């Protein structure tokens, strides 16, 4: 077994017991990671007498373990988060829009993930084709009871903590749809945009769904421009991270187009690798080198086959790549680049 000897308890008897437990629990491929997890748990037990600290870590780890198990069989299917108000009436425009959106998405083979509660979340589960939805419910003393349209109870996950629920939302999905909502919806929207802006989340389509006649997201975007962009708190290019629509079909097209040529992103030895569903034309490659040299630390953007580290892990070895020395800062511009290559 290849263990990281720098991260241990320091007690030879306890470290030997951890080694033995790891040998009986996991393959050699993941032995070091499991050892570090167990070592962390033991360190916490030895270092903290605070029951609240231990309960927090215990509950968070259990919630993550369970959610990973539930989502694991569906990782090959693209999923879309639907965020929106728990207080939206069933007769409201946003409820009807979310239901239609979910129905058309799942008809195309996507799965949808909602917060599991009433309002827009309920509409997302109601509209989904049978077996095509998840619900990540948060236990609250009010308002947030699981809605009645969650068909497969094994895909209903109840969370104690918002942070584990949010992590699962982002980790297990490929696109985000935001409908009008309150503090929670805005919190989820801002966090999603911030994660992309800072490179903590992979680039993804983020659609702001505004029903006909509503100015909810239009006014929100105006606030962003007037008070954040003009003050220099965010770059104008970062407006490329999200897209405002008032039509379900346009929203679905935007999500589908985002993955038309772009497949996924990977960082390898300081280089940024964009995996592609097809090779780019010379014309498009020349165009992106002219228009996006400002986001490079050095060199040019070039086409490549899979890099050695990707081949070793069997990560889509047959897909073509774009490779660049990206500055890991201008993620709004990176999203703009992805939109451009999807037009090839």
> What is the spatial order of strands in the sheet that 296-304 belongs to?
262-268, 271-276, 321-326, 296-304
How far apart CA 104 and CA 127 sit, in angstroms, is 8
How far apart CA 327 and CA 344 sit, in angstroms, is 24
The string over 164-203, giving b where at least 16 C-beta atoms fall within 10 Å of a residue's C-beta and e elsewhere, is bbbbbbbebbbbbbbbbbeebbeebbeebbebbbebebeb
Question: Model confidence over 283-331: pLDDT tens digits?
Answer: 999 999 999 999 999 999 999 999 999 999 999 999 999 999 999 999 9
Question: Model confidence over 80-98: pLDDT tens digits?
Answer: 999 999 999 999 999 999 9
- Is-above-0.75 flag for pTM? yes
Question: Model confidence over 195-235: pLDDT tens digits?
Answer: 999 999 999 999 999 999 999 999 999 999 999 999 999 99
How far apart CA 135 and CA 150 sit, in angstroms, is 7
């Amino acid at each position: 077994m290849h263990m990281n000897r720098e991260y241990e308890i320091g007690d030879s008897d306890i470290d030997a017991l951890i080694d033995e437990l790891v040998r009986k629990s996991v393959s050699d491929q993941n032995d070091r990671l499991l050892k570090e997890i167990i070592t962390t748990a033991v360190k916490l037990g030895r270092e903290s007498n605070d029951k609240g600290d231990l309960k927090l870590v215990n509950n968070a780890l259990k919630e993550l373990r369970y959610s990973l198990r539930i989502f694991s069989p569906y990782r090959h299917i693209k999923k879309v988060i639907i965020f929106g108000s728990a207080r939206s009436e069933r007769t409201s425009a946003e409820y009807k829009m979310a239901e239609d959106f979910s129905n058309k998405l799942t008809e195309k083979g996507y799965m949808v993930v909602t917060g599991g509660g009433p309002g827009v979340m309920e509409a997302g589960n109601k509209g989904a084709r049978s077996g095509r939805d998840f619900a990540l419910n948060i236990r609250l003393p009010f308002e947030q009871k699981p809605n009645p349209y969650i068909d497969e109870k094994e895909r209903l996950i109840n969370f104690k903590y918002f942070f584990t629920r949010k992590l699962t939302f982002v980790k297990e999905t490929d696109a985000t749809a935001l409908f009008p909502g309150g503090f929670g919806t805005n919190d989820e929207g801002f966090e999603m945009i911030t994660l992309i802006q800072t490179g903590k989340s992979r680039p993804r389509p983020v659609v702001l769904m505004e029903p006909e006649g509503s100015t909810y997201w239009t006014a929100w975007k105006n606030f962003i421009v007037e008070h954040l962009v003009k003050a220099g708190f965010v770059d104008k290019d970062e407006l490329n991270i999200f897209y405002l629509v008032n039509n379900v079909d346009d929203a679905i097209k935007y999500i589908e187009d985002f993955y038309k040529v772009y497949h996924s992103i990977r960082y390898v030895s300081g280089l940024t690798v964009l995996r592609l569903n097809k090779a780019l034309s010379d014309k498009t490659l020349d165009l992106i080198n002219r228009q996006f040299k400002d986001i490079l630390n050095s060199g040019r953007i070039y086409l490549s086959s899979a890099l050695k580290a990707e081949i070793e892990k069997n990560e889509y070895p047959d897909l073509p790549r774009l490779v660049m020395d990206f500055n890991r800062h201008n993620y709004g511009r990176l999203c703009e680049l992805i939109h451009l290559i999807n037009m090839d």
